[in-house]
Copies of this chain bind each other. A is one copy, B any other.
C-alpha cells in the first residue's frame, strides 16, 4: 500500500496503470467494443514507430511491450514496459504529435487499437474518462524522480538493482525463503538502454553484483538469493 515508496513509482516506469474502461456508459462500452481493432504481434514486432503520425491509442490485452526511442544523436533510450491492461501511445495522441517512441513486442502480444475519433467520442461519453486520462498522463513520468532523472546521480550498480526491483512483479518468481528468480525478457543492450549506459557497463556491473553475492546472472535468468540484499544495494532507506 506504500505506493510512493515502491520501485515502480520510484523508477517512473509505470505508463499509467490499468485502463478503466469500466467508467464507460453502456453505449460507450458498445462503441469501444465495435470500433477497437485487435492485433496479434510476434516477439520483436513493432506496434508503432517513432516518427509515425499518431492515429489513436493502444491498449495491451496480453504480453509485454517495450517503449524506446532514438534521440537526434543516435542514443537509444528505453523508457517503459507496458503490461497487459495498460495504455500506450496516448501521449502522442493527445499532444497531436508524431509518436515519440517505438513500441515493440517483447513477447507475443495482443494489442487493441482505438482510433482518435473513437477516443474523442469516449471523452464525450463520460467526463470521468477525460479525468481518468488526465490522471494517467499526469502520473506518467512527470517531474517526479524517474529513471532518467536519476541517471546523473546514481551509480549504475544502484540503477541496475532498482531496475530488477521494478521488473520483479512482472518477471520474477518470489519464493517463500526470500529467493527471487527472474526470467528477463531483455537483452543486455536493452537493459543498457533502460539505464542510459553502454552494454559493456552492464556486463561489468553484473560481474560486480555477482562478486558481492547480490545476484547471479545466467543469460536472461537472474537468481537473487535474498531480496533484502537487493533492497539494501538499491538504497531504499532513502527518504522519498
What is the interface size of chain A, counting residues whose CB is below 8 A from a CB of the partner? 57
A22 within 8 A of B: no
Report yes or no: B238 in contact with A101, Cβ–Cβ below 8 A. Answer: no
* CB of A16, distance to nearest CB on chain B (Å): 10
Is A27 interfacial (CB-CB < 8 Å)?
no
Distance from A191 Cβ to chain B, minimum over Cβ atoms (Å): 15
So how many copies of this chain end up in the complex?
Answer: 2
**A151 pairs with B154, CB closer than 8 A:** no
- Cβ of B142 and Cβ of A95 under 8 Å apart? yes
Which of these, B2, B71, B75, B152, contacts A196 with CB under 8 Å? B152
CB distance from A9 to the nearest CB of B (A): 9
Is the pair B143, A75 in contact by a Cβ cutoff of 8 Å?
Answer: no
One of A126-134, A182-190, A206-214, A216-224 contacting the partner:
A126-134
Contact A123 B133 (CB under 8 A): no
CA distance A98 to B183 in the complex (A): 35
Beyond A94-B134, A138-B94, A142-B100, is A72–B127 a contact (Cβ under 8 Å)?
no
Does A69 sit within 8 A of B, measured CB to CB?
yes
Decide if A139 is an interface residue (CB 8 Å cutoff): yes
In angstroms, how far is the closest chain B Cβ from the Cβ of A181? 28
- Residues of A at the B interface (CB closer than 8 Å) are 1-4, 10, 67, 69, 71-75, 77, 79-80, 90-97, 100-101, 120, 123-124, 127, 130-131, 133-135, 137-146, 148-154, 196-197, 235, 238-240
7 pairs, A vs B, C-beta closer than 8 Å: A72-B240, A91-B138, A91-B142, A100-B143, A134-B134, A137-B138, A153-B196
